Structure 1
Amino acid sequence: MKKMVNLYMFLLVVCMLGGCQTSDWNKEDIDKGEEGFITDLDDRRLLIKGTYYKVTNDTYIQDQHGKNLDYSELEVGMKVKPWHRGGVTKKTFPGKAKAELILVLTDEKSAAEQRAVTAALEHVSEADSQRFIILEVTHLPSEHVYTIEMMNRSNMDSSFMVTVEDVTDEILYLK
């Protein structure tokens, strides 16, 4: 049932986006970007995994219940699903894309992951200029922890793991 609701929401948003475009709107298809966590907000851009998504006046930002949000309501650590038009430019790293829709995930699981990711980012950041990419978040309920695989954008050669307690968001281990 939940998947049907999500599919319905996606189709509704795609239809809305299509209806708001000029007659040549279908020259470039809308593509779904990789779901992930916002790790940088800068100059109306947000970094999700290996792509900066540019937010324009035409970008829809909504929570998963369809509530419209403003760019100013976005936060580092939020779990999102991005959609973009025109592909991702990969001439540089991170890639770049124009965001058509940023869907903020607000369910209980996503909110708990956001708290763990935010704690991990705050723990490893030594300067405001540092940028990280969240590669994977895994919840181990039997151990009451999240393991977060991350990478410093300035050192793409290796990733590292941060273990976060799932109730207190305390950093237990950094490797």
Structure 2
Amino acid sequence: MKMIVNLYIYLFVAFILGSCQSPGWNMDESIDKGEEGFITDLDDKRILIKGTYYKVTNDTYIQDQHGNDLDYSELEIGMKVKPWHRGGVKKSFPGKAEAELILVLTDENSLAEQRAVIAALDHVSKAESQRFMVLEVVHLPSEHVYNIEMMNRSNLDSSFIVTVEDVTDEILYIK
């Protein structure tokens, strides 16, 4: 009997909460978390992270992980970030979304990964116009390296791995 009463209470609370939506509320306007990754392009108030460009507007919050506010001008290629966006990602390549929050990761591991990513990007970039995406970064501490999977935006058929030494950020090889 107590279980049935609890069930009715839960249903009543769910009904009341469901009724409390404001009339202008829209499911498309929910805030979603994008894929954590590295900034590989900053262009016209847009940030490329993996395969998505996030548009930065006057309503976009940019902060470090300690809650300190940052300006778009303080963002740099190679920074590790967690993006949140509003209204979904437009299906194109790269995808497009409106950034709600860009959280810059500043912990020791993220900064070490950032140095390795910058070294890899500097090594593979032959021209200012080349654009790369960092798909994944894997640290192999026993081998003292980062394996960084990258893709050139002009050649989407294949990715490649840049191996970077984890102390000196020296490029060891590309495969």
How do residues 125-144 of structure 1 correspond to structure 2 at under 5 angstroms? 125-144=125-144
User: Does 2:45 match 1:35?
Assistant: no
1:4 corresponds in structure 2 to: none
TM-score in terms of structure 2 length:
0.85
Q: 1:128 & 1:45 partners in 2: Cα distance? A: 17
1:118 corresponds in structure 2 to: 118
2:101 corresponds in structure 1 to: 101
Secondary structure of the corresponding residue to residue 148 of structure 1: strand
Q: Any stretches of 5+ residues in structure 2 without a counterpart? A: 1-22
Cα offset for 1:25?
6.0
Cα offset for 1:26?
5.2
| CA 77–42 in structure 1, closer or farther in 2 if over 3 Å, else same | same
Q: Any stretches of 5+ residues in structure 1 without a counterpart? A: 1-22
| CA 160–86 in structure 1, closer or farther in 2 if over 3 Å, else same | same
Q: 1:164 & 1:98 partners in 2: Cα distance? A: 33
Q: 2:77 & 2:38 partners in 1: Cα distance? A: 8
Q: 1:140 & 1:35 partners in 2: Cα distance? A: 19
1:78 corresponds in structure 2 to: 79
| Ranges of 4+ aligned residues in structure 1 off by more than 3 Å | 23-27
Secondary structure of the corresponding residue to residue 115 of structure 2: helix
TM-score in terms of structure 1 length:
0.85
Q: 1:134 & 1:170 partners in 2: Cα distance? A: 17
Cα offset for 1:76?
0.4
Pairs aligned (count): 153
1:52 corresponds in structure 2 to: 53
> Which amino acid in 2 is paired with 1:64?
Q
Q: 2:25 & 2:124 partners in 1: Cα distance? A: 42
How do residues 19-34 of structure 1 correspond to structure 2 at under 5 angstroms? 24=24, 27=27, 28-34=29-35
2:90 corresponds in structure 1 to: 89
Secondary structure of the corresponding residue to residue 77 of structure 1: coil
